Structure 1
Amino acid sequence: MLDSSPNPCPLCGSSSFLTLSHIHLSDVWGAYAEQWATSFSDDVIAHYGNGPVALRRCGRCELEWFDPALEGDAAFYTQLFTGGITYETWRWEFDRAAQRIANGARVVEVGSGEGAFLRSVLPRCSSVEALEKNPRAADLLRAAGIKVSEDDVRADALVRPARADVVCAFQVLEHVADVRGFLSALAAIVVPDGEILLSVPNRERFRRGLEPNDCPPHHLSRWSPRQFTAVAEVLGMELVLVEYQPPSLSHARASRQRSVRTALRPVTGPRVAQWTGRATARLRMPERRHARLAAEGRFASRGEYGHTMFAVLRRA
Structure 2
Amino acid sequence: MTKWDSNYMRKVDGVAADRLCPVCGSSSTEVSDYPRDQVIASIEHLFGKSGLDLISFDSAKMLRCNGCALDLACPMREPDVAFYQWLTSAGFRYPNSRWEWDVCVQILSKKYRGQFKKHNFVVDIGSGEGAFLSQLASLEGVCAIGFDLNPDIVSMGNAPDLDIRIGDASTACDEFSRMADMVTLWHVVEHVADPVGVLLNAKKILHPSGLILFSVPLSPMSYEHSWMDPFNGPPHHLTRWAPSSLKALAKRIGMHAELIFPLETPLHSRLIRSLTLQAMSPFRVEPRTLKLLRLMKFILARPWRVPKEALIQLKLPRIDGRIKPDVALVSLSNRDISG
TM-score by length of structure 1 reads: 0.79
Q: CA deviation at 1:241?
A: 3.2
Residue type of the alignment partner of 1:126: V
Q: Does the alignment pair 1:96 with 2:103?
A: yes
Asked whether 1:186 is paired with 2:206, we answer no
Change (3 A) 1:306 1:39: farther
Matched residues, percent identical?
A: 26
1:135-174 matches, within 5 Å, as: 135-174=151-190
Aligned residue type for 1:74: V
The amino acid of 1:234's aligned partner reads R
Q: Does residue 222 in structure 1 map to residue 240 in structure 2? A: yes
Report how many residues are paired.
Answer: 286
Question: 1:35 Cα deviation (Å)?
Answer: 2.7
Deviations 1:190-227 (A, max 9, x none): 11121111100111321223311112221111011112
Indicate how the Cα distance of structure 1 residues 279 and 166 shifts in structure 2: closer, same or farther if over 3 A, else same: same
Would you say the 8 A contact 1:244–1:300 is kept in 2?
A: no
Structure 2 stretches lacking a partner, 5+ long: 1-13, 114-118, 276-298
Check conservation: 1:55, 1:66, Cα contact below 8 A: yes
CA–CA distance in structure 2, aligned partners of residues 38 and 91 of structure 1:
27
The residue that corresponds to 2:280 in the other structure is: none
Further displaced range: 227-236 or 3-12? 3-12
Alignment match of 2:37 (pick from 26, 33, 49): 26
Distance verdict in 2 for CA 1:141–1:86, change over 3 Å:
closer
- TM-score, normalising length from structure 2? 0.74
Q: Which residue of 1 aligns with 2:69?
A: 62
Partner residue, 1:266: none
SS in structure 1 at match of 2:133: helix
1:278 aligns with 2:306: yes
- Does the CA-based 8 Å contact 1:38-1:80 persist in structure 2? no
Q: 1:219 is paired with a residue of what secondary structure?
A: coil
Please tell me the root mean square deviation across aligned C-alpha atoms, in Å.
Answer: 3.3
Q: Write 1 or 2 for the structure with the bigger share of helix.
A: 1
Q: 1: distance between equivalents of 2:273 and 2:98?
A: 23
Contact 1:172 1:200 in 2 (8 A): yes
Secondary structure of the 2:123 match is: strand
- Per the alignment, residue 312 of structure 1 pairs with 331
* Alignment gaps of 5+ in structure 1: 258-270, 291-297
Could you tell me how far apart the structure 2 residues matched to 1:59 and 1:107 are? 36
Alpha carbons of 1:125 and 1:108: their partners in 2 closer, same or farther (altered >3 Å)?
farther
| SS in structure 1 of the partner of residue 158 of structure 2 | helix
Q: Partners of 1:148 and 1:249 in 2: how far apart?
A: 39
Q: Which amino acid aligns with 2:62?
A: L
3-state DSSP of counterpart to 2:197:
helix
Tell me how far apart the structure 2 counterparts of residues 75 and 237 of structure 1 sit (CA, whole Å): 34
